Amino acid sequence: MNVINSQSALLCNFEVFQLMKDIQNGKNGFQKPGGEAKNLSIIAKETVSYLENTACKDQTAESIAELKKNLNQFKLTNAEKLQIVNLLPQSAVEVQLIVEECEERMSIEDIENLITVVNRFVAPNS
């Protein structure tokens, strides 16, 4: 396996979860790993096992697209948006850990609004 372009895109946890499940199950053009690809099989299995215990298991491509669209009202970098999609912060402290120089860039009201937006995309049982 060769890495063609290591920086072509940033993937959210949901996308990695779906990709690893496809690899694990031999779907979407992926051959089911085995033989020489034993390490890939182990990596896919462990990654899926970990991500099944995170919020991404309840996300959909549509909900992520909608969340990203809603995050555009805040002046966030792409990396910050990605972290918010992955971590779904529920408190001001979590937002401050994600957003660089948060105190200078966002008011308390902005942070509360951001949490409200995120809460609309959190599964009730998460």
Share of the chain above pLDDT 70, in %: 83
Please say if the pLDDT value at position 3 is more than 70: no
Tens of pLDDT, residues 66-120: 999 999 999 999 999 999 999 999 999 999 999 999 999 999 999 999 999 999 9
Q: What is the DSSP string of 69-118?
A: HHHTTS---HHHHHHHHHH---SHHHHHHHSTTHHHH--HHHHHHHHHHH
CB distance 87 to 121 below 8 Å = no
All structural domains of the chain: 13-53 (no CATH), 59-119 (1.20.1250.40)
Looking at residue 25, its pLDDT comes to 81
The percent helix, strand, coil of the chain (3-state, each to 5) is: 60, 0, 40
pTM above 0.75, yes or no: yes
